[in-house]
Amino acid sequence: MPYRRLPNTDLSRIRALECALKKGETIIPFNLAFSQSTLQKIKYFLPTFKEAIEMNKIAYTRYSQKSEIYAEMQKKAKIYISHFIQVSNFAIQRGDFSSLTRDYYGIDENDKKIPQLNSDKDVLYWGNKIIKGEADRVSKGLTSMTNPTIAVVKVHFEKFQKANSTQKVLYEASQTAQEKLKNKRKEADDLIVNIWNEVEDTLNKYPVEEKREQAKEYGLVYVYRKHEKEYFENITYN
């Protein structure tokens, strides 16, 4: 016995709703296999569902398109922050600067390692630390670091900082659109189940095969289970 298979993609959900809507608009109410109140729900819901799909697509596209540019800015900021700290370590190693220089950057004076820059949070933290620290050093008359200078580091860091803020906004917009679409999918599924239940209840007066054939005109989908399909495919007639 075949069973109903509900839509599981946005396209198939729209197809099911549009099929029911078309029936509702071409058949007189008395002959329609679902109620007028259900028809009104379809008319109201379908445009909002399509809009949610489109808004989710737009939000995701914007986020994705900016991600590549953002990754490049993040990479540049990491490189310049890392190189600045490396250069300071080299200067300390040569004796050009005191090991106390590291204190200005929030690093222990005996710590020769480059801080971890694995996350955006790390990059933002250490970028701010070395920019502020170098400004403090120079304000006290100490020789500024070169190759790269803190001015060059600051340029790339601020580009990343701005991109980071933008990317957060785009990510939140994408997540919001995705959540809204998720809720709309639930509404769509509930509405389709209701339509299909009404259709089958109305068509119960017909023999099973005829009932299914008429129900298909309303968008209902029936499929055989695997063993049933194999059984019918193997039937031979004399």
Q: Which residues contact 159 (CB under 8 A, 6 or more apart)?
A: 73, 76, 77
> Is 238 inside a domain boundary?
no
Residue 34 lies in a domain: yes
Q: Rounded to whole angstroms, how far apart are CA atoms 45 and 8? A: 18
Domains: count for the chain: 1
Q: What is the CA radius of gyration of the chain?
A: 32
117 touches 85 (CB < 8 A): no
List the domain range (segments joined by +) for residue 184.
3-233
Per DSSP, helices labelled H in the chain are 10-26, 36-94, 101-104, 120-139, 150-202, 208-216, 226-233
238 residues of the chain, pLDDT tens digit each:
788 999 999 999 999 999 999 999 999 999 999 999 999 999 999 999 999 999 999 999 999 999 999 999 999 999 999 999 999 999 999 999 999 999 999 999 999 999 999 999 999 999 999 999 999 999 999 999 999 999 999 999 999 999 999 999 999 999 999 999 999 999 999 999 999 999 999 999 999 999 999 999 999 999 987 655 544 344 443 3
Q: Tell me if 85 is assigned to some domain.
A: yes
The reported pTM is 0.79
Residue 116 located in a structural domain: yes
Q: Is residue 157 part of a domain?
A: yes
Q: Report yes or no on 59 lying in a domain.
A: yes
